[in-house]
Structure 1
Amino acid sequence: MEAELENESQPLLHPTRTRENSVASLFARGRSNTINGLKTGYDTVRRHRIQFLYFALASLLLYLSFTLAFLPRTSLSRDFRRLHFSRFTKVETYRIYLESLMRENRIERHLVAYTAEEHLAGNRNALDYTVNELKALGFSPKIEKYYPWLNTPIDSGLSLWVNGTLEFKSSMVEDASEDDSAGSTSPSAPAFHGYSANGNVTARFVYCNYGKNEDYEYLTSKDVHLEGMVHIIRYDKMLSGLKVKNAEKYGAVGVILYTDPYEDGQVTEKNGFEAYPNGPARNPSGFERGSVQFLTDLPGDPTTPGYASKSPETKRISPKDKMPSIPSIPMSAEDISRILPYLNSRGCNFDLKGNINGFDYYSGPSDVHTKVQVFNEQAYNVKEIFDIITEIPGIIKGSSIIIGSHRDTWVAGGAADSGSGSSILLEVARGLSKLVEKGWKPLRTIKLISWDGGEPAMLGSTEYGENHAIKLQKQSLAYLNLDTVITGSIFQCEANPLLSEILKEAAWLTPFRGNSDFTLLEEWKNKTGGKVDVLGAGTDFTVFQNHLGIPSAGFKFIANEIDDPVYQKHTSYDSFGWMKHFGDQHYEMHNTMAIFTGLSALMLSENELVTFKTHDYAQLIEEHFHKLQGLLNNTYPGDQYINSESLKLSSLISFISNNVSVEFDNNVTSLRKKVSRDFPWWKIYKKILIFIRLSVANNKLKKVDRLFVTDRGLKDRGWMRHSIFAPEKELGYFGDVMPGLHEAIIANNPQETLEWLHILKNQMTLIGELLKV
């Protein structure tokens, strides 16, 4: 028994593997150790968690302190751009734009395309070329269509009849020129006027000089018979429609408008210069086309005054009183010389002579056996036109700058009008596209717009302005216009005074004709003393400045009338050949204007604080009001109430000019420096305060010109709503300052004069309150 027990217990005494070293036991012990380790670690962390949190927080504070200690000092200007992921400084933006246009000049290619054929309003070839060029630059142009009531030429003519025999008949087209091998491929339509009335009249004729009021007063004082006659009137710097309007008032049954080379200054055939294409003088067979709509009263579609013709079904009214009711046609110097000599020694003689061969500048009228036949047939229909809008969205919402140029022409050609402006607009687009390619976004939105229907009545721009009036008044900072930009060597700038300083700054950065050592500003000062003229009329800024109160500017190079080649206005000789050989042979002037225009827009866009000068505006108002005071005192010498109100307004204007505007501009200048001043990070509160002041100042500057817009408009031309700027009522091309008051004084209307004194006083009071610092 004991032996058995001994044998049975033997494995226990000498086992091959004990229980404690089994796989299960090893796993059990490992799990136990792990749990115990975790418990121990957790207990350790729990015991030291406060110390751990303190350590982490101290490390974070140490990192932030180190980082903030070495943060660079920054300005509000740079912070603003960083927040919007912009890498561009203003200087770098200007440099890239400038270099892109200095390296390459595509004007010639654009001019060849734009002058290849006639493109009246609504033409699709010029439309397609412009759109394709903008798309090639990476833009997405949008087309807006409008449907104005407009005339298309069918036929027109002039015949001279003597004793019932046809003595002469005008061809109504220019002589052919061989100087346009790279230009027009199709002939121009027979010469005609935009918005001229249809008619076929045969009557005696009378010469009425320029067709101004003083010309007609002179003729009536000499008892020259005017009623029932065809009036022959020479072109000058007076809108054609006003000439026809005056003729109609004095009983004309038809009007012939002709071009007298005398208006060209020294460069005439009479002075020994050869005519184009052999020389720089006017080609005498040129017909100067143009519009005879009453544009000083109302541009745009005359059947939709004040609202846009957005569809063929748009409600329309009669165009009566907005265009002539008698036919009119243009005439060349060559053809009119076959007619005017029949007036020699008849009627009265004008002191001012001219260069029409064989004519002694007598009024006539012609004898009863000598008559002219004026024939005019136009088709009037609702016509589709196309505005092309390219937008570069800005960082700041609700603020934009618009650059515009019309692209339609009267003739096959139109190198200066409208080819130069359209080509420059595309070059501005190319310069801006180089910036966009590099990731640039403008601070404020920039819009490039190619208008249609500019020649007949600024149709595209006016319909656009009327269609978007509320939005434009709310958002638009400025409008820059390009029209007939290159016709000579003298730089001319017309602008709202608010824009004067920024335009001169842009000119200072613009190389003149590619010369980096000589700027456009230096050229401007050398030729005209850096003068900024009052805005005139007859072009596409009219709706923006005169109707909506958006500060506008237009700039161009014009002929000096001494040795510059004559611009062959609105004739078939305004051709690619003329521009290539006489106008701008190497397209350096075009390039200068493209650089200047783009830099002007960039300066308006890229400055956080709007660069407007209210003192320049107030000074201009003060200067012109003092002139009107003299006229007012002479007109109403004994009216103490009018003179008292005049003195009150004068005192208010002077106070704003010499005190309020100066203080405001000084405050803005100081604020502008603070916007660019660097501050350490801990002074962020100062940047916030500067930003608030900046926003307030910008809003005030945007409102200044809007405060001069009235609901009533000017007397007898309510569409012109600006109290400070409007086209001069009797001449048109020139601008008038404080036109409502000026016209009331001239009309010797005391009630109207008082109303305008009160309107201006109220507006200047609002301006004074707005500009208070």
Structure 2
Amino acid sequence: MGDASNTLPEFKQIHEMHALAAAAIAVLAAVAASRDALSLTASLGPLTTLPAATLGTARPPWSAERAIAAFERGVDRSRLRETLRNLTAVAHIAGSDADRAQAEAIQAEWAAAGLPNTHIKTYFPLLNRPVSRSLTLLAPERFEATLREPAVDGDDTSRDEEVVPTFLGYSPSGNVTAELVYANFGSPADFAALAARGIDVRGKIVLVRYGSAFRGLKVRAAELAGAAAVLIYSDPAEDGFVRGPVYPDGPWRPPLAVQRGSIMYPTFYEGDPLTPFVAATENATRLPQSEAPCLPKIPALPISYGEAKPFLAALKGHGVAAHTIANDWQGGLDIEYWTGPAGKAHLFIDNEFAVKPIWNTMAVIEGASEPDRAVILGAHRDSWVFGAADPGSATSVVIEVGRVLGEMHKRGWRPDRTIVIATWDGEEYGLIGSTEWVEDHVEILNKTAVAYINLDHGIAGDVFRAAASPSMANLVRQATKGVRDPNSGQSIYKKWNRRVGVDTPEGRVPQVQPLGSGSDYVAFLQHIGIAAVDMRFTGDEGIYHSNYDSFNWMAKFGDPTWKYHEALTLITGRVLLPLAHDRVLPIDFVPYVHELRTYAKDVAAALGGASMPVEWAGRLDASIDVFEKAARKLRKEADHLRRDDADEDNVVVDAVDGSGDGIDAGVSVLTVQGGSDDGLAGIVPQQHPKHPKHPKHPKEPKHRAVNDKLGFGERGFIDMAGIPGREWYRHVVYAPGEWSGYGAEMFPAIHEAIRRGDSAGTNKIIASVAATLRRAAGMLAA
């Protein structure tokens, strides 16, 4: 597609006029100076900041522990179940009437529960809908695909077979008659393997299977190779009968299930394709659709493996046998896979494009002592069809978190820092609702937001996984220590650590993955540098983005007892509430050091493989050394303040040995000390008699300075110039891989320069990344 920066100069200039204020990113003092009378704007809620003179003069009588205890008493598993039933009762694709109705229903529920400042924020992105489509194999034998997902006994919602037709978001219309070629997973390497064997895909209809990389990048690779159209099918080796019994007898994909999805190219940016760098407001300046670099230029259609089989069979004996290229070219169907070209097929797609509204449901709980610092929790609400696992399970958790916090708020609870809760819209098309909201509020978020918590595809089994900024990893681990695994009775932490424990300089801990792309954390972390975390329970699942991702599937296979919905809700509370209450933010940059050293070794290995003369390689390691010193110094400062707080408050807490109830020894559980005048938890923290209940904290400015380093330290990894050719992505450590999409690539600009064989460019980028790491260290040490 070429260099996005050449295509989008106007949008970059608009953005840079009012966005991330480079000085605020580069110099922590500018961030700290933002404590004077801020407003988080009408879209975040009608919030005002306490006068500077009153900040920190009295600490509210709520600790994170007390808030967690109150929160956990309020979580209702039956409500989680009924919320998911309601969410999945109708299809609610982004921009539909049902989608808007759900946004309004969530707002009403939150307001009734007592959640303050509820509102709906509307944006106007480009969306598409199918008008008609057809797919016919013309030779060697005629076969007409139904492109439908038939009803399943016992699954009432599946009976409306055409409630959302099988299609791909942002596929252009097309009318193509051509030979077929099978291209495995459709990666650039797969197309290169075909070319090396003399197999020409130019002008052909390419058949590729899901897996290995994001679907949109399969279409992009086919487009660059000259293909005329793409068929993407779900092979049973990935999520069908090869894995186990298929739905409705098991959790895996049945023969005629189809995976819908967006094929917008995430290479260049996320969000509305026509308004990169700026929000898709109703009157926003928009790119012409033909000039949007993230939109595909060739038509594509998703099909089931049941209807892909005749097309694959038509290739037998033509080209080369797939297994002779590599073993992973042979899929799971009971036929021998060949490459072609062979046969002839006709593909017709009529997709209607329009700028349509989408609706983010928002609520804001203003902080009592630090209202100008915000923690954000979000999950998307829109679904390709009914969306029980993706995203309904996560949406129901966020709705329940909002409901419980609303009930607490009615009874007098206030967080120390502002909490923003959102159900995003348009995620399935390209992370639109969250990205447009971030682009709309980038300056105020840069001054206020200290963390973003994301849920998406929350529950599809019992295997806990987390991905996060390294600075948030220990907070997630700590949160899982206090929540039982419903099946084993052990803590989630123990089960998680036993399954994917990794050795680090600080001991063996559960593995927390890096954040790539594929969900709503992207704009927060990779565009403006807000530390983020994504959490979920996974399992055996073959109904992704199909008509069968239904309440019935969840009740039979995903989470029949709804105990994992409850567990994810409790974990979310244990991540959110310390961020909102702890006087010293529970963020730690020391774990970043281990990750940075690992990534630097990967760079060295890539340079060695490329045999490229690079003069700045040692400087990367030296900058990591500087960052480590700053991170350890900051941890020491933070730990000292935490010890001061513990000595000063002296809250009575009992440590419960986990040998009897399955919770880890050392997990703190508050003990009932008497009645509570707010009727929440019946728990009153006991103060040491030497201290008043609301002690003054003369060291508050010191806490504030340390918290600014912890809360805004991730900003130090932002380079306003962005990745060359992909300037919307500005985090120098993490970005979605250029050809993987979902998966993260670490030090992405360096690796991309190495792959281009650009020695001078690689030297320049390594120097720039090293300088950014030193700047990040300077922010932590300021």
Q: Which residue of 2 aligns with 1:159?
A: 136
Q: Is the 8 A contact 2:167 2:301 kept in 1?
A: yes
The verdict on how the C-alpha distance between 1:90 and 1:127 changes in structure 2, with shifts beyond 3 A counting, is closer
Q: Which residue of 1 aligns with 2:321?
A: 349
Q: Is the 8 A contact 1:105 1:591 kept in 2?
A: no
- Residue of 622, 629, 644 corresponding to 1:674: 644
Q: Which residue of 1 aligns with 2:447?
A: 474
SS in 1 for 2:453: strand
SS in 2 for 1:232: strand
CA deviation map 1:221-276 (0-9, x unaligned): 11112111000000003111110000011110000000001013xxx5347x4321
SS in 1 for 2:533: strand
Runs of at least 5 residues in structure 2 that lack an aligned partner in the other structure: 1-53, 502-509, 650-688
The verdict on how the C-alpha distance between 1:145 and 1:608 changes in structure 2, with shifts beyond 3 A counting, is same
CA deviation map 1:71-119 (0-9, x unaligned): xxxxxxxxx9995583333322111111221x54312211111111211
Please state if 1:119 is matched with 2:92. yes
The verdict on how the C-alpha distance between 1:353 and 1:216 changes in structure 2, with shifts beyond 3 A counting, is closer
Distance 2:512 2:59 in 1: 38
- Residue of 230, 234, 248 corresponding to 1:259: 234
CA deviation map 1:538-568 (0-9, x unaligned): 1111110110100111111122xxxx3x331
Q: How does 1:195-594 map to 2 (within 5 A)?
A: 195-264=170-239, 268-270=240-242, 273-312=244-283, 314-318=285-289, 319-350=291-322, 351-366=327-342, 370-395=343-368, 396-411=370-385, 413-513=386-486, 518-529=490-501, 530-559=510-539, 564=540, 566-594=541-569
Aligned-residue offset at 1:725: 0.9
The verdict on how the C-alpha distance between 1:766 and 1:681 changes in structure 2, with shifts beyond 3 A counting, is farther
Distance 1:356 1:339 in 2: 15
Distance 2:214 2:77 in 1: 38
SS in 2 for 1:276: coil
Q: Is the 8 A contact 1:675 1:690 kept in 2?
A: no
CA deviation map 1:399-457 (0-9, x unaligned): 1111111111111x210111111111111112212321320100111111011111011
SS in 1 for 2:498: helix
Aligned-residue offset at 1:374: 1.2
Q: Is the 8 A contact 1:262 1:355 kept in 2?
A: yes
> Is 700-709 or 417-426 further displaced after alignment?
700-709
Moved over 6 A (4+): 182-186, 679-683
> Is 660-669 or 82-91 further displaced after alignment?
82-91
Q: Is the 8 A contact 1:87 1:440 kept in 2?
A: no
Distance 1:284 1:183 in 2: 15
Q: Is the 8 A contact 1:408 1:454 kept in 2?
A: yes
The letter of the residue matching 1:567 is: G
The verdict on how the C-alpha distance between 1:239 and 1:326 changes in structure 2, with shifts beyond 3 A counting, is same
Q: Which residue of 1 aligns with 2:758?
A: 749
CA deviation map 1:656-691 (0-9, x unaligned): 32x3322321221112111332299899xx975532
The letter of the residue matching 2:241 is: E
Q: Which residue of 2 aligns with 1:3?
A: none
Q: Which residue of 1 aligns with 2:148?
A: 173
Distance 2:763 2:555 in 1: 55
The verdict on how the C-alpha distance between 1:376 and 1:475 changes in structure 2, with shifts beyond 3 A counting, is same
Using the size of structure 2 for normalisation, the TM-score is 0.82
Aligned-residue offset at 1:354: 4.6
The letter of the residue matching 1:308 is: A
The verdict on how the C-alpha distance between 1:82 and 1:498 changes in structure 2, with shifts beyond 3 A counting, is closer
The verdict on how the C-alpha distance between 1:357 and 1:111 changes in structure 2, with shifts beyond 3 A counting, is same
SS in 1 for 2:302: strand
The verdict on how the C-alpha distance between 1:733 and 1:85 changes in structure 2, with shifts beyond 3 A counting, is closer
Q: Is the 8 A contact 2:58 2:697 kept in 1?
A: no
Q: How does 1:128-143 map to 2 (within 5 A)?
A: 128-139=104-115, 140-143=117-120
Distance 2:148 2:58 in 1: 58
The letter of the residue matching 2:138 is: W
Distance 1:765 1:378 in 2: 49
Distance 1:509 1:358 in 2: 47
Please state if 1:86 is matched with 2:86. no
Q: Is the 8 A contact 2:376 2:449 kept in 1?
A: yes
Distance 1:755 1:544 in 2: 27
Q: Which residue of 2 aligns with 1:665?
A: 635
Please state if 1:722 is matched with 2:731. yes
Q: How many aligned positions are there? A: 671
Q: Which residue of 1 aligns with 2:595?
A: 620
Distance 1:132 1:652 in 2: 51
Distance 2:526 2:59 in 1: 38
Using the size of structure 1 for normalisation, the TM-score is 0.83
The CA RMSD measured in Å over matched residues stands at 2.3
> Is 140-149 or 120-129 further displaced after alignment?
120-129
SS in 2 for 1:110: helix
The letter of the residue matching 1:307 is: V
Aligned-residue offset at 1:713: 0.8
Q: Is the 8 A contact 2:77 2:565 kept in 1?
A: no
The letter of the residue matching 1:734 is: G
The verdict on how the C-alpha distance between 1:314 and 1:634 changes in structure 2, with shifts beyond 3 A counting, is closer
Q: How does 1:731-770 map to 2 (within 5 A)?
A: 731-770=740-779
The verdict on how the C-alpha distance between 1:611 and 1:270 changes in structure 2, with shifts beyond 3 A counting, is closer
Aligned-residue offset at 1:389: 0.6
Runs of at least 5 residues in structure 1 that lack an aligned partner in the other structure: 1-79
The verdict on how the C-alpha distance between 1:355 and 1:736 changes in structure 2, with shifts beyond 3 A counting, is closer
The letter of the residue matching 1:523 is: K
Distance 2:64 2:530 in 1: 24
Distance 2:195 2:331 in 1: 25
Please state if 1:647 is matched with 2:622. no
The verdict on how the C-alpha distance between 1:182 and 1:217 changes in structure 2, with shifts beyond 3 A counting, is closer
Aligned-residue offset at 1:285: 0.5
Q: Which residue of 2 aligns with 1:21?
A: none
Aligned-residue offset at 1:190: 1.7
SS in 2 for 1:677: helix
Aligned-residue offset at 1:532: 0.3
The letter of the residue matching 1:661 is: A
Q: Which residue of 2 aligns with 1:55?
A: none
Aligned-residue offset at 1:514: 8.6
Q: Is the 8 A contact 2:466 2:512 kept in 1?
A: yes
Q: Is the 8 A contact 2:585 2:710 kept in 1?
A: yes
**Identical pairs, percent:** 29
> Is 353-362 or 457-466 further displaced after alignment?
353-362
The verdict on how the C-alpha distance between 1:183 and 1:335 changes in structure 2, with shifts beyond 3 A counting, is closer
CA deviation map 1:581-634 (0-9, x unaligned): 011001111110011112211011110111111111122112111221122234
The verdict on how the C-alpha distance between 1:147 and 1:132 changes in structure 2, with shifts beyond 3 A counting, is same
The letter of the residue matching 2:633 is: E
Q: Which residue of 2 aligns with 1:26?
A: none
Distance 1:426 1:107 in 2: 8
Aligned-residue offset at 1:764: 1.9
